[in-house]
């Protein structure tokens, strides 16, 4: 900023989330309205999160954004939607240094946004969920937006669907909603970050390459061509969502694990059912599934759950530290770090501090 001109800033941090009932398919592309509800676990911000600082000053001639230190374009419709929706709700601000911004002034002021991920963006791990949740949350803080988290989630949704779930910690449901304007397509917290704290999440990074098919174009192709997607959205997911809510509420790991694995597999089946087919998992992913399935079968009850998103990396959820340690031992035995591409494991607690 130029000398003599004030700058007002706000900083926030949002973790990414892992869906255990997957979002795949939009009924409205512009508003990002999904074809089914989804449920996720928000991670601990120490492991996979975005940190964003937003600044406003009369000396800024335009809106600008930097991601991990590199300037990126804000011209995309999704950024513009989030900025517009937050600006619309901006309130008077009076900070302790005497900076005063009137509600009506926000339309004329420009923002600078700097965002960092504490994990490699190219690691094939969802960064848009944490990024847009953080952008919306932090802009809301800067502009003294008074709306509740449900409303903020519906704005974050317009940045990236999965971002609406990262507005909350703990266990979160994104309700697809019925309205055409998206007003009821919001996220709600099912249980806070202190609930079911024994769960341990391990991410096995199978490949750090950027995925070949973006989620946005992949799910568009699935909606247009997969008959399985229709069946999944209308018949399977509504039932699974109810069962998953019950499993989470009652700490029922057996049910939680069965639903999580089945839903991941059905999502990837929808990808295969798409024309042309989409392959997100690779041989290493399949070997991890076999390892877990064999272990779970031999014990007669699930010892760990697996789930895979739009890439080959495995997200493994153990009911406690003992099973997490056993799992790591098995993974390291089957995938010795030197002779394959399973290069690192990230271990995290599921809970977050919001
Ligand atoms: C999910 N995924 O529920 C699912 C499971 C990937 C597989 O949400 O187009 O990046 O920005 O709304 O949110 C990835 O999709 O897609 C995703 P857009 P998004 O987590």
pLDDT tens column, 298-312: 999 999 999 999 999
Q: Complex ipTM, two decimals?
A: 0.99
Interval 84-98 mean pLDDT: 93
**Residue 340 pLDDT > 60:** no
**Residue 95 pLDDT > 90:** no
Of ligand 1's listed atoms, the one at least distance from the Cα of 161 is 12
Location of structure tokens 């009924």: 27
Alpha-carbon distance of 243 to 314, in angstroms, equals 23
Lowest mean pLDDT among 1-10, 134-143, 311-320, 341-350: 341-350
Site to probe by mutation for ligand 1, drawn from 40, 121, 125, 126 as the one with most ligand atoms within 8 Å of Cβ, is 126
Site to probe by mutation for ligand 1, drawn from 132, 171, 215, 233 as the one with most ligand atoms within 8 Å of Cβ, is 215
Q: If you count them, how many residues does the chain have?
A: 354
Contact residues for 149 (Cβ-Cβ < 8 A; gap 6+): 167, 168, 187, 189
Query: How far, in Å, is the centroid of ligand 1 from the Cα of 89?
Result: 26
Interval 58-83 mean pLDDT: 94
Interval 16-38 mean pLDDT: 97
Of 106 and 118, which is predicted with more confidence? 106
Distances in Å between the Cα of 183 and the Cα atoms of 36, 138, 254 are 15, 21, 35
Alpha-carbon distance of 192 to 256, in angstroms, equals 17
Alpha-carbon distance of 225 to 222, in angstroms, equals 5
Interval 10-32 mean pLDDT: 97
**Residue 178 pLDDT > 80:** yes
pLDDT at residue 118 in the model = 86
Distances in Å between the Cα of 21 and the Cα atoms of 137, 142, 168, 186, 296 are 24, 33, 17, 16, 20
Quote the crossing angle between the two packed helices 149-157 and 77-88, to the nearest 10°: 150
Of 123 and 320, which is predicted with more confidence? 320
Of 122 and 76, which is predicted with more confidence? 76
Site to probe by mutation for ligand 1, drawn from 23, 33, 39 as the one with most ligand atoms within 8 Å of Cβ, is 23
pLDDT at residue 351 in the model = 35
- CB-defined site of ligand 1, < 6 Å: 19, 22-24, 32, 38, 128, 160-162, 215-216, 309-310
pLDDT band (50, 70, 90) for residue 168: very high
pLDDT at residue 122 in the model = 52
**Residue 218 pLDDT > 70:** yes
Of the chain, the percentage scoring pLDDT greater than 90 comes to 83
pLDDT tens column, 249-282: 999 999 999 999 999 999 999 999 999 999 999 9
Of 335 and 89, which is predicted with more confidence? 89
Interval 188-201 mean pLDDT: 96
Beta strands in the chain (DSSP E): 8-15, 17-21, 26-28, 33-34, 38-42, 49-57, 64-67, 70-72, 93-94, 100-101, 110-117, 171-174, 187-191, 200-205, 305-308, 314-318, 344-349
Query: How far, in Å, is the centroid of ligand 1 from the Cα of 161?
Result: 6
**Residue 344 pLDDT > 80:** no
Query: How far, in Å, is the centroid of ligand 1 from the Cα of 24?
Result: 7
pLDDT at residue 74 in the model = 93
Q: Which domains does the chain have, with CATH numbers?
A: 8-191 (3.30.230.10), 200-349 (3.30.70.890)
pLDDT tens column, 39-48: 999 998 888 8
DSSP state of 69: T
pLDDT at residue 211 in the model = 67
Lowest mean pLDDT among 7-11, 206-210, 288-292: 206-210
**Residue 348 pLDDT > 80:** no
Share the mean pLDDT of the chain.
92
pLDDT at residue 338 in the model = 62
**Residue 151 pLDDT > 80:** yes
């Amino acid at each position: 900023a130029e000398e003599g001109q004030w700058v007002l800033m706000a900083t926030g941090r949002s973790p990414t989330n892992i869906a255990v009932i997957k979002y795949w398919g939009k009924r409205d592309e512009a508003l990002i309205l999904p074809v089914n509800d989804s449920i996720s676990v928000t991670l601990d911000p120490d492991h996979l999160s975005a940190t964003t600082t937003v600044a406003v000053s009369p000396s800024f001639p335009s809106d600008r954004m930097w991601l991990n230190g590199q300037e990126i374009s804000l011209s995309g419709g999704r950024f513009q939607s989030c900025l517009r929706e937050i600006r619309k709700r901006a309130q008077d601000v009076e900070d302790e240094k005497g900076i005063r911004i009137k509600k009506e002034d926000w339309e004329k002021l420009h923002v600078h946004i700097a965002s960092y991920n504490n994990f490699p963006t190219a690691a094939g791990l969802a960064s848009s969920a944490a990024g847009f949740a953080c952008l919306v949350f932090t802009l809301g803080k800067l502009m003294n937006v008074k709306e509740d988290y449900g409303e903020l989630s519906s704005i974050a949704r317009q940045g990236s669907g999965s971002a609406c779930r990262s507005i909350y910690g703990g266990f979160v449901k994104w309700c697809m909603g019925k309205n055409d304007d998206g007003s009821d397509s919001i996220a709600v917290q099912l249980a806070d970050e202190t609930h079911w704290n024994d769960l341990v999440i391990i991410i096995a990074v199978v490949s750090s390459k950027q995925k070949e098919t973006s989620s946005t174009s992949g799910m568009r192709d699935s909606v247009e061509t997969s008959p399985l997607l229709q069946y999944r959205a209308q018949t399977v997911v509504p039932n699974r969502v109810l069962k998953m809510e019950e499993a989470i509420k009652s700490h029922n790991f057996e049910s939680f694990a069965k639903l999580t694995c089945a839903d991941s597999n059905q999502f990837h089946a929808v990808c295969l059912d798409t024309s042309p087919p989409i392959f997100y998992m690779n041989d290493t992913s399949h070997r991890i599934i076999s390892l877990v399935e064999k272990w779970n079968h031999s014990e007669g009850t699930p010892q760990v759950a697996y789930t895979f998103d739009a890439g080959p990396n495995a997200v493994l959820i153990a009911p406690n530290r003992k099973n997490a340690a056993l799992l790591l031992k098995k993974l390291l035995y089957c995938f010795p770090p030197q002779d394959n591409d399973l290069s690192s494991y990230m271990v995290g607690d599921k809970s977050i501090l919001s």
